[in-house]
Amino acid sequence: MDDFSIPFEKLGNARKVGIQLPDGMKRKAIEIARLIEEKGYEVVISGETNFGACDVDLSILEVVDVLLHFAHTPILRDERIIYVPNFIDYNPKIDLEIEEKRIALIATAQYVHKLDEVAEWLRSKGYEVEIGSPKGRVIYSGQVLGCNYSVLRDCKADAVVFIGDGLFHAIGAAIYTKKKVYAYNPLSREIQEVDTKDFERKRYFEVSRCVGKKSAGILVSSKPGQRRLKLAERLKKIAKERGMFCSIIYMNNIAAEQLYNLPFDFYVNTACPRIAYDDSFKFERPIITPQEFEFLLGLRDSIAMDEIEF
Ligand code: SF4
């Protein structure tokens, strides 16, 4: 197997081992199960989703001794859950030529392991580099999640350089810090300055579709690292005081088809922020974040990135 080494040394006296893979790795299930069974363990494969470390399959722990949760860094700490990260190798000597000389470095979990080497390289090129310390659900300096940018909370730099795939985290960092953000893809070695206008325009449009509506379903996920019941209860209370009917809807995987028959005018998503940001087009009714709901209710002047802090 090329991408992962199984941490056999952490399995202790376990006999039955659960494995939980993200969609992109599920096709490797046989290969991984065979590797583990060849060492004398019995394997049970989780058929549940694995969107992040927030999404640990706790139910499988009823039938196995330990769970190997693949591709994410820990959020939920439990001695029976073993996280197997997926670090992708890349050249830390990144091609960066930008006018700002004081920069902050951030990366997703797959690329964060080389941030110190990237920083050393950039310092040798004359940049002043900062890497924010981890807090809460983030365990590596400089690491960002789609639901957490706390490493940028005290950012003093003039610009942020994001290392990873896609633009979502970079756009999130730009909205979070209100600073210029460059997205660098370490595999293609392409860099671009991110523009948040499209993203923000779409979000304000989604909020505008909720104006004047009378009922809202506040979605709460039972996934251990996404469950924000207290936030949902607070939002429900505030909305009720303003004459809006709200109910909390509790479910594991928040998917459009599970909401089809419910009669609410729109939804407020307290689970993974990316459900509203990336998948709103899949839902029949508008779906907004808690911050966007507060904006709709007149409690804030603008929208902000939704973050999960616990
Ligand atoms: S809540 Fe969403 S963004 Fe945050 S770790 Fe889970 S899957 Fe990733």
Q: What is the mean pLDDT of residues 43-61?
A: 97
Boundary-marking domain end, from 36, 58, 84? 84
Within this chain, do residues 65 and 109 fall inside the same structural domain, yes or no? no
Domain assignment of residue 281, yes or no: yes
Cα 274 to ligand 1 centre (Å): 7
Same domain membership, residue 202 and residue 125: no
Q: Which token pair is 47?
A: 């058929």
Q: Is the pLDDT of residue 72 over 60?
A: yes
Average pLDDT, the chain: 96
Backbone angles phi, psi at 114, to 5 degrees: -110, 10
Q: What is the CATH number of the domain that holds 146?
A: 3.40.50.11850
Probe ligand 1: pick from 72, 226, 228, 279, max atoms within 8 Å of CB? 226
**Same domain (yes/no): 131, 180:** yes
The answer to whether position 272 is within a domain reads yes
Q: How many domains does the chain have?
A: 3
Same domain? For 62 and 146 the reply is: no
- Ligand 1 centre and the CA of 53: distance in Å? 7
Query: Is the Cβ–Cβ distance between 293 and 235 less than 8 Å?
Result: yes
**Does residue 106 have a pLDDT over 90?**
yes
Using the 3D structure, point to which of 139, 171, 195 is the last residue of a domain. Answer: 195
Q: What is the mean pLDDT of residues 256-281?
A: 97
What confidence category does residue 2 fall into, taking pLDDT thresholds of 50, 70 and 90?
Answer: very low
* Total residues found in the chain within this entry: 310
Regarding whether 191 and 209 lie in a shared domain, the answer is no
Structure confidence at residue 223 (pLDDT): 97
Angle between helices 197-208 and 168-177 (to 10 degrees): 80
Residue whose CA is at the smallest distance from ligand 1 atom 3: 146
- Please answer whether residues 230 and 220 qualify as being in contact, where contact means their C-beta atoms are separated by less than 8 angstroms: no
How many angstroms separate the CA atoms of 6 and 85, rounded?
Answer: 10
For residue 201, the model assigns a pLDDT of 98
Task: Point out which residues pair with 67 in neighbouring strands.
Answer: 18, 81
Section 234-259 average pLDDT: 97
Q: Which secondary-structure segment (H or E) carries 115?
A: helix 115-124
Tell me which residue range forms the domain holding 31.
Answer: 8-84
CATH code: domain of residue 217: 3.40.50.11860
Domain boundary residue, one of 195, 226, 249: 195
CA distances from 263 to 215, 287, 288 (A): 9, 14, 16
Overall average pLDDT of the 244-266 stretch: 97
Is 75 or 1 the better-scoring residue by pLDDT? 75
Q: Quick one: CA dihedral 124, 125, 130, 134, positive or negative?
A: negative
The whole-number pLDDT of residue 5 equals 83
Closest C-alpha to ligand 1, atom 8: 52
- Residue 184 scores a pLDDT above 50: yes
* Residue 119 phi, psi (nearest 5): -60, -45
- For residue 1, pLDDT beyond 50: no
In a domain, 310, yes or no: no
Can you tell me the mean pLDDT for 237-255? 97
pLDDT tens readout for residues 185-221: 999 999 999 999 999 999 999 999 999 999 999 999 9
Question: Once rounded to an integer, what is the mean pLDDT over residues 237-242?
Answer: 96
Statement to judge: residues 292 and 203 lie in one domain: yes
Residue 307 lies in a domain: no
AA letter at 236: K
Q: Is residue 150 part of a domain?
A: yes
Give me ligand 1 centre to Cα 33, in Å.
Answer: 26
**Binding pocket residue ranges, ligand 1, CB within 6 Å:** 51-55, 145-147, 225-226, 272, 274, 308
Going from the Cα of 147 to the center of ligand 1, the distance in angstroms, rounded, reads: 5
Asked whether residue 17 is assigned to any structural domain, the reply reads: yes
